[in-house]
C-alpha cells in the first residue's frame, strides 16, 4: 500500500541531498514530499552567495513547528524520514504524535543522549566559531571531507561539497549542545514506530550515539528498531550504497506504519 513520505534534510544541505532517495521511493509507488527548511528554498549557488539573514535566528523549535505544519497539511499521516539534523526533527515530530512511522538516519541526538568524543571533535568548528550563536556559518571543505563524507575518495568529496554544501544557522548547534529545545519523552506512549539508522564510519552521529538513542527510545511501548550499515559515512543517504539504505528503510516503514 502506497503512503505519502515526507523527507526532512539536515543542516549544511538543501533538498537536493534527497534526490536519489526521492526518485527511488517514487519508483515504489509512493508520493514523496521534500520541503526545504525555512530560508533554504534556493539553489546552492544562491545560498552560498547570499543567505537570508533571518537564517541566523533559526531555532530547533522553529524548525520542528514548521515541519509539524507541513505534516498537518497532508490528508493522512505520512511516513517521516530525516537525515542528520533532520533525523532529530523526525524524532521530535514523532514525540508530538505525528506521522505514521519515522526513520531517523544518522540523527542528531535529543536531550539526554550525550555526544561521543568523536562527534564533539567534529562539531568544534561550529561551537568555537566567534559569536556562532548569532551567525550563519559555513562548513569548510576540510570539515566536510573529514567528518561528513569521509568514506568518499577525495575527487568525489570535492564534487559533492561543491554540489551540496550551503551555510547553516549556528544557533541550532548551540541549542543542541546545551539541550535547549531538543527534548523528547523517551517513554512516550503515543509515539509512532521509530527506526534509527547508523553508519559505522560516521564521525558526526556516531554508532555509539545512535545505539544510545535506541536504548532511550526503547522505553516507549511503540516499536523501536535500529539498523547499522558498515563502511558508510554521515553521507550514507547519497554515497555509493545508498540504495540499500533506502530499500531497507522503506521496507521497515511500510511494515510498521500505522
Domains of the chain: 4-256 (3.40.50.1820)
Asked if pLDDT for residue 252 goes beyond 70, the answer is yes
Question: What pLDDT score was predicted for residue 77?
Answer: 97
Question: What pLDDT score was predicted for residue 2?
Answer: 75
Question: What pLDDT score was predicted for residue 1?
Answer: 60
Query: What is the C-alpha radius of gyration for the chain, rounded to an integer number of angstroms?
Result: 17
The whole-angstrom separation of Cα 219 and Cα 206 is 21
Asked if pLDDT for residue 235 goes beyond 70, the answer is yes
**pLDDT > 90 in the chain, percent:** 93
Average pLDDT of every residue of the chain: 96
Q: What would the 3-class secondary structure string for the chain be?
A: CCCEEEEECCCCCCHHHHHHHHHHHHHCCCEEECCCCCCCCCCHHHHHHCCCHHHHHCCHHHHHHHHHHHHHCCCCCCEEEEECHHHHHHHHHHHCCCCCEEEEECCCCCCCCCCCHHHHHHHHHHHCCCCHHHCEECCCHHHHHHHHCCCCCHHHHHHHHHHHCCCEEHHHHHHHHHCCCCCCCCCCCCCCCEEEEEECCCCCCCHHHHHHHHHHHCCCCCCEEEEEECCCCCCCCCCCCHHHHHHHHHHHHHHHCC
The reported pTM is 0.97
Give residue-wise pLDDT tens across range 75-134.
999 999 999 999 999 999 999 999 999 999 999 999 999 999 999 899 988 888 999 999
**What does the CA dihedral 28, 31, 36, 41 come to, rounded to 10 degrees?**
100
**Mean per-residue pLDDT for 236-240?**
97
The whole-angstrom separation of Cα 90 and Cα 68 is 10
The whole-angstrom separation of Cα 212 and Cα 216 is 6
Amino acid at each position: 500500500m502506497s503512503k505519502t513520505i515526507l523527507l526532512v534534510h539536515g543542516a549544511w544541505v538543501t533538498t537536493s541531498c534527497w534526490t536519489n532517495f526521492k526518485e527511488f521511493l517514487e519508483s515504489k509507488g509512493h508520493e514523496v514530499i521534500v520541503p526545504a527548511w525555512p530560508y533554504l528554498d534556493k539553489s546552492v549557488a544562491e545560498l552560498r552567495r547570499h543567505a537570508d539573514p533571518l537564517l541566523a535566528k533559526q531555532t530547533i523549535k522553529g524548525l520542528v513547528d514548521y515541519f509539524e505544519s507541513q505534516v498537518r497539511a497532508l490528508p493522512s499521516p505520512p511516513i517521516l524520514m530525516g537525515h542528520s539534523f533532520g533525523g532529530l526533527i523526525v524524532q521530535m515530530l514523532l514525540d508530538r504524535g505525528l506521522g505514521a512511522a519515522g526513520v531517523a538516519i544518522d540523527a542528531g541526538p535529543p536531550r539526554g543522549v550525550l555526544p561521543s568524543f568523536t562527534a564533539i571533535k567534529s562539531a568544534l568548528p561550529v561551537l568555537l566559531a566567534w559569536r556562532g550563536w548569532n551567525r550563519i556559518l559555513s562548513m569548510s571543505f576540510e570539515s566536510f571531507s573529514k567528518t561528513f563524507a569521509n568514506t568518499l575518495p577525495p575527487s568525489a568529496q570535492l564534487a559533492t561539497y561543491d554540489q551540496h554544501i550551503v551555510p547553516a544557522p549556528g544557533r541550532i548547534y548551540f541549542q543542541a549542545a546545551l539541550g535547549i529545545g531538543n527534548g523528547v519523552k523517551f517513554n512516550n506512549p503515543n509515539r509512532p514506530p521509530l527506526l534509527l539508522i547508523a553508519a559505522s564510519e560516521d564521525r558526526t552521529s556516531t554508532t555509539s550515539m545512535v545505539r544510545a538513542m535506541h536504548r532511550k527510545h526503547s522505553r516507549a511501548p511503540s516499536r523501536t528498531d535500529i539498523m547499522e550499515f558498515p563502511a558508510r559515512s554521515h553521507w550514507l543517504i547519497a554515497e555509493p550504497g545508498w540504495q540499500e539504505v533506502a530499500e531497507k528503510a522503506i521496507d521497515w516503514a511500510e511494515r510498521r506504519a500505522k
